[in-house]
Amino acid sequence: MDQSLEELRVTALAQIAGVGDEASLEAVRVQYLGRAGKISAASEAMKSLPKEDKPRIGKLLNEVRGAVSGALDAAKAALLAKADQAAFAGVDGSLPGTGLPQGSLHPLTQLQERAIQIFRRMGFALADGPDIETEFHCFDALNTPADHPARNEQDTFYFGDGRLLRTHTSSVQVRTMEKVAPPVRIIAPGAAYRRDEIDATHLAQFTQMEGLYVDENVSVADLKGTLEFFFRELLGKDAQFRFRPHFFPFTEPSYEVDIKTSALGSADRWLEIAGCGMVDPAVFEAINTRRGDRAFDPEKVTGFAFGFGLDRLAMILSRVPDIRYFTDNDQRFLAQF
């Protein structure tokens, strides 16, 4: 028996060593370890052995079973490893990716969102108002006289009922102050309209960002601090500022803000970016009259307002040569952002 078991071990291991595929390996396993296999048969045969031989033969049988079983496992692992190797051998890692189609936010939305997030960190809330405005909200309340050049049909879209498409988002200042009392601290992104000839830098509709802060003791120093902080956050720490005195009907003193910064591609040239100023007392008085109270008494509260065009800023920041690209909705353009 001892000898036949040894022979069994030798043949089995030789057979396993010669197997080249999983199916044959399985057949070998069945041949030896299966219910009717040779090792099972040997185990069966052991029952008829004399009692004193049983422990020795039993031990030997276990050794043989272990050796065959281990050899089968090792051979199977080797076959799988070989198959794994083969599975990846032909893969061309330089094939292009096949991801899902990618969407994109409009470049103006992206810039507007960045601007809003900066102003929100500074504690501004959002405000809005209608695109179809009354002359009161767009002009009268903003201290713009009836014969002001902006108020004619050459420059402004009117409707039959005398209303108009707002020419600036400053009308939202008025809308907001009508409703709430100081402190008012808002930004208002939105569309504005002008009857411009359409060309590379003009559309009938453009996007502005308006801002207003009214409270006790708001000063030019607050205006300067706010705009410098905002534009440094937006355009980079190296931004330099020049507040050029200017004239707007609804602010006094008024300024235009020029900026020099590498982000705008103008490290050595001033670019006019925004208009701003202290809210004119006449605007507060128009609001008070409308509200029927003195919530915006110019002796008690002061404020600053500012506005800038998002389209032009986006054009400069992203080097977009023609404003019309923003509304052409060409996917080849949109997918770039």
Partner 1 sequence: MKVSLNWLRELVDLPEDTGRLVDLLTLAGVEVEDIEQHGVAIANVVVAEIRESVQHPNADRLSVCQIDDGSGTLRQIVCGAKNYRVGDKVPVALPGAVLPGDFKIKVGKLRGVESQGMLCSAEELGMPKGEDGLLILGNEPAAGTPLGALFPSDTVLELEVTPNRPDLLSVNGIAREIGALTGKPVRFVGPQSAVSGVDAGAGAVQVASLERCPFYSARAIRGVKVVASPEWLRRKLEAVGLRPINNLVDVTNLVMLELGQPLHVFDADVLEGAVRVRCAVEGEEMVALDGKSYRLGAEELVIADGARPQAIAGIMGGEASGVTERTVNVLLESAYFEPRGIRRSARKLGLSSDSSYRFERGVDRAGVLRAAQRATELILELAGGEAGPVQVGGNVDALSREACVVGLRAERLCSLLGVKVEPARVEQILTGFGLVREGDGWRVPSFRADLTREIDLVEEVARVFGMEAIPAKTQARFVPASDTDGRYDVAMELRRACVAAGLHEARSITLVPEIPLGLSLTGIGAEALIRVKNPMIDDQVVLRPNLLHGLLKAVGDNFRAQAESVRLFEVGRVFFRGEQEEGSRLAMVLSGALHGRSWRGGQGREADLFDLKGILSGVLGSRVGFELKENSALALSLALTVGGREVGVLGQLWPADARALDAKAPVMFAEVNLDALAQAGWSRGGRVYEAVPRFPGVTRDIAMLVPLGLGHAEVVRVLESVKEPLLVGVELFDVFADASGEKVPADRKSLAYSLTYRSVDRTLTTEEVNAAHGRLKEALAGQLAVSFRE
| Of the residues 109, 134, 201, 266, which one makes contact with partner 1 according to CB under 8 A | 109
Span 229-268, contacts to partner 1 by CB under 8 A: 229, 242-247, 252-255
| Of the residues 4, 62, 219, 262, which one makes contact with partner 1 according to CB under 8 A | 219
Q: How far is the CB of 74 from partner 1 (least distance, A)?
A: 36
Contacts with 56 (C-beta within 8 Å, 6 or more apart), sequence order:
2
86 binds partner 1 (CB under 8 A): no
Q: Which stretch binds partner 1 (CB under 8 A): 35-43, 57-65, 91-99, 286-294?
A: 91-99
Other beta carbons within 10 angstroms of residue 333's beta carbon come to 15
Closest CA to 288 of 299, 278, 273: 299
Distance CA 18, CA 13 (A): 9
Other beta carbons within 10 angstroms of residue 2's beta carbon come to 10
Span 115-134, contacts to partner 1 by CB under 8 A: 116, 122-128, 130-132
Q: Could you tell me the two tokens for 234?
A: 């937006």
| Of the residues 23, 36, 86, 95, which one makes contact with partner 1 according to CB under 8 A | 95
Span 148-187, contacts to partner 1 by CB under 8 A: 149, 152-154, 157-160, 165, 183-186
Asked if residue 260 lies in contact with residue 291, where contact means CB atoms within 8 angstroms, the answer is no
Burial class (CB in 10 A: 0-12, 13-18, 19+), 118: middle
Span 29-68, contacts to partner 1 by CB under 8 A: none
Closest CA to 287 of 298, 274, 278: 298
Q: Residue 288: phi, psi to the nearest 5?
A: -60, -45
Site string for partner 1, 296-335 (x = CB under 8 A): ------x-----------------------xxxxxxx-xx
90 binds partner 1 (CB under 8 A): no
191 binds partner 1 (CB under 8 A): yes
- # residues near partner 1 by CB under 8 A: 81
Closest CA to 291 of 141, 152, 179: 179
The residue among 195 and 312 lying less far from partner 1, judged by its C-beta, is 195
The residue among 191 and 200 lying less far from partner 1, judged by its C-beta, is 191
